[in-house]
Amino acid sequence: MGANTAKDMRRVFAEWPVSVPRTGMVVTTFGESIPFVSYMLSGDLLLLERKTPDAQGARRVILGFDSIHALKILDAIEMPRFTAMGFQGVN
């Protein structure tokens, strides 16, 4: 993942629309899937909160945006709501 991808991923989280629940799953470059129910930002870091602890008992994870490979949205949400994150429809 390049620097631009990390910057874009940060923008997605920073501009998350109020109409979209702040829940989902982050897939890291380490191959780990991290479900989250809330998050916070600090510079180039993302703090994720899990609903239940992982196998080691951790409920919160801090990672750099350059460690994010993908973001999965688990809720059924209409595509037009994502325009607030900068996405555009293609005709």
Predicted model pTM: 0.86
- Give the domain range for residue 43: 3-74
Q: Domain containing 14 — which CATH number?
A: 2.30.30
pLDDT value at residue 25:
97
- 35 in Cβ contact with 51 (< 8 Å): yes
Domain-embedded: residue 87? no
Q: Give the long-range contacts of residues 46-49, CB within 8 A, separation 24 or more.
A: 46/10, 46/13
Counting the structural domains of the chain, the total is 1
Domain-embedded: residue 54? yes
Residue by residue, pLDDT tens for the chain (91 residues) are 566 889 999 999 998 988 889 999 999 999 999 999 999 999 999 999 999 999 999 999 999 999 999 999 998 888 888 888 888 877 7
Domain-embedded: residue 44? yes
